[in-house]
Each structure stands twice: as C-alpha cells, then as structure tokens.
Structure 1
C-alpha cells in the first residue's frame, strides 16, 4: 500500500472516530438521549457514553498525529472534530434516531 493511500485511510479513520466520539458525547446528554431513544439512559450508561466520546476524540487525535507532524495534525484534528460535530448536530435535528447505531445496547 502506498504512503498516500495509508495516510488517506488513517485520516478517514480519524474522521470516523471523531464522528463516533461526538455522537457518543451528544447522546450522553439527557436532552439528546431523549431525542434518540425516547428515554433517558441511566447515569452509569451516560458516564460510559461520555468516556466513549472522549476515547473517540483522543483516538482521532492519535490517528491524525500518525499521519502528519504535530502542528498540521492538530489542525486536521480540529477540522475533523468540527465537521463531525456539525454532522452530529444536523443528524440530531433531522433524523435523531440514526444515532442509535452508535450505542445499540442502550
């Protein structure tokens, strides 16, 4: 696999990790959880979702750092996180139940 293809796959994985992380953080909030599941998860489940969200965002940063030098990686990570948060926000506004995919066990 070429270096450019590997970098592309790693950046795609970073963006997907950002989407998952932002989604988990969003559904850990009672208001958004109500939209997604029509009920509020337990406090332990909300805590787990928050930790998963943080792990997703940190994983995205790690993947970005694996692709490029630190200053560029942080810039790409911020842009990926911003795009992911917009995608999650628009999904919550349009089809909130689609976010059930992120936590089918709830």
Structure 2
C-alpha cells in the first residue's frame, strides 16, 4: 500500500478513535445520544476499548507509512487534529457523531 493510503487510514482511525473516546464520556454520550449515560455503561465501556484500539492501529498505520521518528511526529499531529475536529463537531453538530456509536446504542432499547 502506498504511503498516502497508510496516512489516510491513520487519519481515519485517529478521528474514529477520538470520536469513540469522546462518546465513552458521560457528557458527550448524553449530548449525542440524548439519553442518560448511566443507562449505557456497557456500550460506553466498549466504546472506550474501540477508541484505544483505533488509536493504536493509527500509530501502526503511521509506522507503516514512514520511518519511526517521522511516524511518531505525524501520529502526534493526527491525534491533536482529530481531537480538535471531534471537539468542533461536538460543539456545533453533536448528532453527527451518532454513527460512531453504531449498534451499541440499540442495545439499550
């Protein structure tokens, strides 16, 4: 796979990881799903695990794209950019993050 595709995959994984970690938080879960977070302990736990796994896979994708010293720098910048992107979505259009909850929220119904 080319370097550009690895970096695109890393960016997508980084954004998804940050979105999943944000949805695992009480405040953001309620903001996006319009439900009380206490009802969703299991799904939020799974979102936390998914977020951590996605961020790790993002690092591995960066390492596949470039040498380690550059990959860590790019990954750090992707983390910062993804965190800002997710924060901007949460501040203006929180429902846009609902697809990242996937079928996890349907287990509550």
Whether these two folds match at TM > 0.5 is: yes
Give runs of ≥4 in structure 1 deviating > 2 Å: none
Q: TM-score, normalised by structure 2?
A: 0.90
- Deviations 1:75-100, CA, capped at 9 Å, x for gaps: 00000111111100000000000001
Q: Is 1:98–2:103 an aligned residue pair?
A: no
What runs of 5+ residues in structure 1 fail to find an aligned partner? none
- Deviations 1:29-77, CA, capped at 9 Å, x for gaps: 0100011001125211111000000001000000000011111100000
What runs of 5+ residues in structure 2 fail to find an aligned partner? none
Q: How many residues of Structure 1 are paired with residues of Structure 2 in the alignment? A: 102
For 2:31 and 2:7, locate their aligned partners in 1 and report how far apart those are by CA, in whole Å.
30
Give the helix-richer structure, 1 or 2. Answer: 2
DSSP 3-state at the match of 1:73: helix
- Deviations 1:7-44, CA, capped at 9 Å, x for gaps: 11110110000000000000000100011001125211
User: Which of 22, 27, 31 is residue 18 of structure 2 equivalent to?
Assistant: 22
Q: TM-score, normalised by structure 1?
A: 0.92
